[in-house]
Amino acid sequence: MSPRPGFVLEVDRSTPPTLFWHGEGYRLERLPTGSRVIYPPEPLPALDDPDAAIEHALEHPAGDCEPLSALLRPGMRLTIAFDDISLPLPPMRAPDVRGRVIEAVLDKAAAAGVDDVVLIAALALHRRMTDDELRHALGSRIFDAFAPHGTLLQHDAEDPDGMVDLGQTEEGEVVEINRRAAESDLLVYVNINLVAMDGGHKSVATGLASYRSIRHHHNVRTMQHSRSFMDRHNSELHTSNWRMGRLIAQSVKLFQIETTLNTDTFPSQFGFLQHREWEWSLKDRAGFHATSAALERTPPALKRQIFHSIRSPHALSSIQAGEVEAVHDLALANVHRQQLVRVEGQSDVVTMGLPYICPYNVNSIMNPLLVACLGLGYFFNLYRGRPVVRQGGVCILSHPTPWAFNPVHHPSYIDFFEQVLADTTDPLEVEKRYEESFARDPWYVHLYRTSYAYHGVHPFYMWYWCAHALDHLGQVIVVGGDRAAVRRMGFKPATSLADALEMAEDVVGRDPTITHLHLPPLFLADVV
């Protein structure tokens, strides 16, 4: 039976309570009659033979590109870059698709007699990955073959000798990327396109770039002019990356590999997270009640540990390789095939339950900035056409939003939250007054390069991701969040969904139309 497409449910009196994620837990909420709930499409079937699909993609490239084996020759410098810990979410069960694809690339390199091979985790300004995380992403065989010899690297955007300036785009954007990647005879980039935003020229132009370069597209202006950044043709973020990528392509031979995954996101014991409530099986119900009861008695740190140990059964749904733009068009079509849900019209209020994880807190704490970014940056932007909520509408997020940070991973976030947001929450003011000093702060640079810290500027990007939503919305309400943390961000705290809906009426009027985003698993709302 083919998987069912996404679905927009209209809540009536017979509708069972709706599941809302709530950090390391979930709630069942009764939405008012007439509310809409957007459910993601069911997972596409996994490719029958992933290794054969990989082989086929490498040897039958898309666009103006030779097969990979034809690009490999003895004595060449080969660099293989790959997406970092931020993808996929949750981390996938072994074998990770990156390791699988890179093994195939390495087999071909070996067959062609290529000796000078370096792997680079494309961190951009993200934290470095631990050895365990690298081993998981690449598999033990690759890790053990490269890491001991110093040929498994992590991109260091602050290494003055490790970056090279490739010039400027016609818009004056500095293009500075990883020297090893730029000076290789062939750069292979292995993507995981979890959402429509991923991949394309963004992979190299962001993943292997420096702050000098990234600042041209990670800023308030581009975010406010990306409607949305999940729709690359209407995304200023992507337009800038595309200009940079085309400049890079003039001097760097790139072989792009983009993979898409299905939305089989949670293991079977969490099956109720994948299914629609009225279709919950006995096992789903038992799973829901058992985990809810257990979580209630579990300390927060242990809950975090439990959830972060989840390994997703994500399966490869497509792979395409070759020339970057042709590859990306195919990958995007495959993302849309899995995730698009047609939604008619906007509503006054959008609600969403936020889970325990976002791209920047894998094995870490979902701090308040990440809560905001996940809700207002990512989930709000999961649309094509128009936002799900109307201009001036209200966004209701459900998350505990603890005033808690991981000081190893997010040191500059703490200062951003304590100092910057205490002063102003206006993204433009934040950018103007504080970005440069955080980005250049030598301690943050030191921690980014030598510890496991996100770059000093990273919390700014989290706030910028929210800029479009903050500009669009009349109010943001957080249900069940730490009140001080919620207020620090300029949002309103509410103790229950009912309270939040009542507060929303003060902004959008009585009896508002309501749409709930039932995710993850992820979808992309095609709002017409």
Partner 1 sequence: MKALLIERQLHRFAAARAASLVAGPASGIGVGPLRLADVDPPELPGPGWQRLRPRLAGICGSDLHTVDGASSRYFEPIVSFPFVPGHEVVADVLDGPLAGRRVVLEPVLGCVARGIDPPCAACASGRKGACERIAFGHLRPGLQTGYCRDTGGGWSDELVAHESQLHVVPDALGDEAAVMVEPAACAVHATLLGAVVPGETVVVLGSGTLGLAVVAALRHFALPGTLISVAKHAVQRDLASSLGADDVVAPGELARAVRRATGSLALEDRHGGIRRLAGGADVVFDCVGSAETIADSLAVVRPGGRVVLVGMPGTVRVDLAPLWQREITLLGAYAYGTEDRPEGPRSTFELAFELVEAAGLQRLVSARYPLERYEEAVRHAANAGRRGAVKVVFDLRRAAGSWRGAGALAAADGEAASGTSGEEVEAAR
Which residues contact partner 1 by CB under 8 A?
406-409, 411, 414-415, 418-419, 437, 441-443, 446, 451
294/296 Cα distance (integer angstroms): 5
Task: For residue 152, report the phi and psi dihedrals to the nearest 5 degrees.
Answer: -110, 105
Q: Which is nearer to partner 1, 268 or 437 (CB)?
A: 437
What 3-state class would DSSP assign to 505?
helix
Q: Please, is 449 exposed, middle or buried when counting C-beta atoms within 10 Å of its C-beta (0-12, 13-18, 19+)?
A: middle
Contact 93, 312 (CB under 8 A): yes
Beta carbon of residue 496, minimum distance to partner 1 (angstroms, whole number): 27
| Token pair of 116 as six digits | 């000078």
Q: Which is nearer to partner 1, 339 or 406 (CB)?
A: 406
Estimate the crossing angle of helix 97-111 against helix 131-138, to 10 degrees. Answer: 70
| Token pair of 289 as six digits | 């009640």
Beta carbon of residue 384, minimum distance to partner 1 (angstroms, whole number): 40
Estimate the crossing angle of helix 442-450 against helix 427-440, to 10 degrees. Answer: 70
Nearest Cα to 490, choosing from 430, 421, 428?
421
Beta carbon of residue 298, minimum distance to partner 1 (angstroms, whole number): 21
Q: Which is nearer to partner 1, 251 or 450 (CB)?
A: 450
Beta carbon of residue 300, minimum distance to partner 1 (angstroms, whole number): 16
Q: Which is nearer to partner 1, 30 or 440 (CB)?
A: 440
What 3-state class would DSSP assign to 186?
strand
Nearest Cα to 123, choosing from 245, 241, 244, 211?
211
Q: Which is nearer to partner 1, 272 or 448 (CB)?
A: 448
DSSP state of 40: P
124/154 Cα distance (integer angstroms): 9
Beta carbon of residue 418, minimum distance to partner 1 (angstroms, whole number): 5
DSSP letter string, 292-341: HHHHHTS-HHHHHHHHHT--B---EEEEEEESHHHHHHHHHHHHHHHHEE
Q: How many CB atoms lie within 10 A of CB 281?
A: 11
What 3-state class would DSSP assign to 225?
coil
136/304 Cα distance (integer angstroms): 19
Q: Which is nearer to partner 1, 309 or 450 (CB)?
A: 450
Query: Which residue reads 């961190």 in tokens?
Result: 123
| Token pair of 175 as six digits | 């293009």
Q: Which is nearer to partner 1, 378 or 444 (CB)?
A: 444
What 3-state class would DSSP assign to 111?
helix
254/266 Cα distance (integer angstroms): 34
Beta carbon of residue 383, minimum distance to partner 1 (angstroms, whole number): 36
Q: Which is nearer to partner 1, 36 or 488 (CB)?
A: 488
Nearest Cα to 63, choosing from 306, 446, 260, 323?
323
Beta carbon of residue 173, minimum distance to partner 1 (angstroms, whole number): 28
Beta strand extents in 169-310 (DSSP E only): 174-178, 186-192, 254-261
Q: Which is nearer to partner 1, 380 or 405 (CB)?
A: 405
Dihedral (CA of 498, 504, 509, 512) sign: negative
Beta carbon of residue 411, minimum distance to partner 1 (angstroms, whole number): 7
Beta carbon of residue 126, minimum distance to partner 1 (angstroms, whole number): 16
Beta carbon of residue 302, minimum distance to partner 1 (angstroms, whole number): 17
Query: Which residue reads 């975090």 in tokens?
Result: 304
Beta carbon of residue 442, minimum distance to partner 1 (angstroms, whole number): 6
Q: Which is nearer to partner 1, 130 or 437 (CB)?
A: 437
Q: Which is nearer to partner 1, 361 or 406 (CB)?
A: 406
Beta carbon of residue 408, minimum distance to partner 1 (angstroms, whole number): 4
Q: Which is nearer to partner 1, 131 or 418 (CB)?
A: 418
29/160 Cα distance (integer angstroms): 52
